[in-house]
Structures are given as structure tokens and as C-alpha cells.
């Protein structure tokens, strides 16, 4: 029996030495790259052919820690929502392309307010070094799988900032995460979180968001007044959900104009401060014995109806211009993985080297 075990181990060792399940050469290497020729295109890489998407992920992730595989795995995203909502610096760091001024950007001499879009067409790679959205897409694109690039294009085409979601004073991370997931699924890019009690700790999100927070623009506010002032400066009307005599049915509202939908605490609902500062109160007509939905369900219903109403009135929900679409594509590309940031910075270095005059 022992001789049989020895023979089996020897055979397996021989097989392992002859056959490698994955190529030994990394998918790409920033240290060994071809010289730039002609227009700036630093990485002349031929696409690999894989039998399945899973095979591509297995090959690329097993051989190179910098491969552009989505690094939003279960362990890394476990407490992502909690981390984001308890650290404003992390939220701002999450967004990559340079952002416009927060307050007063849409105010000016013109009587007509400019439609809000948060990003400028540049990404900062260092001191006085910037890349345009086109350059970001050109640099990172060759390292994204075709399926991922196609999804980015499709999602950006259906995104809008004309409707945004505001969650005020929620006490359960699960509800916040579920609201984020609904916003992402329905093409609402901008979400805002207002905390009435900064000392309150949310419960674990239990992966309810499914990583949606990675692709949304999340902004944190200390008070409803602070949040609403900024939203109004961007051209939004503030619609708080409230069951009252003055509440307008969501089915009677025109959702084609920029609107911020506000949902409140699981037990207390919208705070008195938010109610007083809002432009209108709206409600979802109830047909049963209970008079309210779970807050995350209510957020999903509100957003879904807003999108459907916009489609019926405007022909579609996504309303970004071609330039804004490309900027959002660059934003998604940079958020895709940490390696995307490294590639963009390397591209910027080569761009700067090309522009440097020869002595």
C-alpha cells in the first residue's frame, strides 16, 4: 500500500511539472511595455480569447494581482456601505474624475439654470498632470473585458442626474444598502445621505447593496438644510415623502423636471426640519390596512415610478449628452479596480514624457 501511495504522489508531481493550468507570463506588465509610436497609445495588447468569462477571471486573477478583474469581491465589499457612510473622506475619494464646485455652480446671470452634471472632463494624475475622459478610456480600455466595457456603455447611456435620492436619518444599513441597489438598478446615479444623529451606528448591511455603492455618486450631509440648499443650487425641487392632507400623489406629479426624492427614518419618517424645508410633500397611495411601506421598498417604488413617468413623457430616462456619457464611462473605468488607477497614472507619465522638449 505504501508503495502505491508513493507511486501516485510521484505521478502527480510529474504531471504538475509538465502541465501548468495558467500561463506563467503576466497578462500585462507596466515595467515592460513597448515604446510609444505615433499617437499616444502606450499599451499595444492583443485581446486574449477565453472559453468563458469565468475562465478569463481565473486566468487573469491567478497570475497578476494588478489585472483588471473587478475587485469588488465579497470580503472586500462586506462593510463597504458602513465604511462609506461613516467617513466622508472615503466617499469623496471614491469618485475619481474632478468634480465641479458644490455650491452655487448653477447660479449665474442666466435666468435658466444649467442642468446639473457633477464632473469636469479631467482626471488629476499628479501635480499639474491631467487626463481627459477620452484619454482615460483609451488607457484603461485595452485591459477591460469586452463584456465589461459593453456594460459600462449601456449603463452610462441609461444614467441620469435629473432624479436623485435622499435618505434621511435611517438607522439600518440594510435599508440604506437596499435603497442604493434600487437607485443603481433604475439608472439614478446620485444619492445623498443625511444623518440626524451622527453618533448612531448602522447595523451590518449583509451584502444587501450587491456592490451598487461602487458605481453611485454618494454625498454625505449633516443636516437637511445643508443638503437641500446644495440641491436647490443644482436646480432640484425637494419632494419629501409624507402622509398628510397636503401630500400630492406620486402619480399626479411631473417627474420630467429635476427632483430630489427624500425618504425618512424607519420609525419617525421625515424630520420636521426636512418637511418644512421641502418644496412639496408626496405620497404613495395605499390600498391596504397599513399606511406605509418599508422605507427601502418605498424608495424603490418612488424611483421606479419616476423613471416610468420620465420614459412616458420624454421617451427615456437617460439624458446625458455624448460628452457627459464619455466622462461617466471614464469614471466607471477608473472605479473598476485599483489597477485602473495605476494604468491611468502610467499613461499620464508617458504623455508628459512625450510633451517634454528634448535638450
pLDDT 10s digit of each residue in the chain, 359 long? 555 555 445 444 444 444 444 344 333 333 334 444 444 444 333 334 433 333 333 333 333 434 454 544 434 444 566 666 666 655 666 788 999 876 544 444 344 457 899 999 999 987 788 999 999 999 999 999 999 999 999 999 999 999 999 999 888 888 888 999 999 999 999 999 998 454 444 444 444 556 778 899 999 999 999 999 999 999 999 999 988 778 999 999 999 999 999 999 888 889 999 999 999 999 999 888 988 888 999 999 999 999 999 999 999 999 999 999 999 999 999 999 889 999 999 999 988 888 766 55
Domains of the chain and any CATH numbers: 81-99+117-324 (3.40.1280.10)
Contact residues for 127 (Cβ-Cβ < 8 A; gap 6+): none
Residue with cell 419616476: 306
**Structural contact between residues 256 and 313, judged by C-beta atoms closer than 8 angstroms:** yes
Alpha carbon distances (Å) from 350 to 34, 54, 98, 126, 337: 11, 33, 21, 13, 21
Q: What is the pTM of this model?
A: 0.73
Alpha-carbon gap, residue 349 to 355, rounded angstroms: 10
- Residue 83 is predicted with a pLDDT of 64
Check residue 354 and give its pLDDT.
80
pLDDT of residue 353: 80
Q: With the C-alpha atoms ordered 192, 194, 199, 201, is the resulting torsion angle positive or negative?
A: negative
Amino acid at each position: 500500500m505504501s508503495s502505491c501511495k508513493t507511486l501516485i504522489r510521484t505521478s502527480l508531481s510529474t504531471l504538475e511539472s509538465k502541465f501548468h493550468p495558467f500561463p506563467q507570463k503576466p497578462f500585462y506588465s507596466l515595467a515592460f511595455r513597448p515604446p510609444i509610436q505615433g499617437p499616444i497609445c502606450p499599451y499595444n495588447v492583443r485581446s486574449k480569447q477565453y472559453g468563458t468569462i469565468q475562465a478569463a477571471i481565473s486566468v487573469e486573477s491567478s497570475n497578476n494581482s494588478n489585472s483588471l478583474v473587478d475587485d469588488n469581491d465579497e470580503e472586500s465589499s462586506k462593510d463597504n456601505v458602513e465604511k462609506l457612510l461613516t467617513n466622508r473622506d472615503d466617499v469623496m475619494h471614491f469618485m475619481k474624475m474632478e468634480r465641479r464646485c458644490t455650491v452655487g455652480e448653477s447660479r449665474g446671470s442666466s435666468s435658466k439654470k444649467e442642468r446639473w452634471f457633477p464632473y469636469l472632463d479631467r482626471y488629476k494624475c499628479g501635480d499639474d498632470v491631467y487626463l481627459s475622459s477620452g484619454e482615460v478610456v483609451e488607457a484603461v480600455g485595452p485591459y477591460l473585458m469586452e463584456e465589461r466595457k459593453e456594460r459600462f456603455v449601456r449603463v452610462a447611456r441609461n444614467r441620469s442626474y435629473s432624479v436623485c435620492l435622499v435618505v434621511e436619518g435611517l438607522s439600518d444599513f440594510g435599508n440604506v444598502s437596499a435603497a442604493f441597489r434600487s437607485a443603481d438598478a433604475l439608472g439614478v446615479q446620485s444619492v445623498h445621505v443625511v444623518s440626524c444623529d451622527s453618533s448612531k451606528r448602522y447595523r451590518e448591511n449583509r451584502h444587501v447593496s450587491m456592490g451598487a455603492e461602487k458605481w453611485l455618486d454618494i454625498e454625505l450631509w449633516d443636516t437637511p438644510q445643508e443638503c437641500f440648499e446644495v440641491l436647490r443650487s443644482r436646480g432640484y425641487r425637494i419632494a419629501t415623502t409624507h402622509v398628510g392632507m397636503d401630500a400630492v400623489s406620486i402619480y399626479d406629479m411631473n417627474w420630467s423636471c429635476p427632483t430630489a426624492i427624500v425618504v425618512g427614518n424607519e420609525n419617525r419618517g421625515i424630520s420636521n426640519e426636512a418637511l418644512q424645508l421641502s418644496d412639496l410633500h408626496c405620497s404613495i397611495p395605499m390600498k391596504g390596512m397599513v399606511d406605509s411601506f418599508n422605507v427601502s421598498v418605498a424608495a424603490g417604488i418612488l424611483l421606479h415610478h419616476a423613471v416610468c413617468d420620465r420614459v412616458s413623457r420624454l421617451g427615456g430616462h437617460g439624458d446625458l449628452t455624448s460628452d457627459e456619457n464619455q466622462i461617466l464611462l471614464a469614471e466607471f473605468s477608473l472605479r473598476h479596480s485599483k489597477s485602473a488607477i495605476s494604468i491611468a497614472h502610467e499613461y499620464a507619465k508617458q504623455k508628459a514624457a512625450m510633451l517634454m522638449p528634448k535638450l
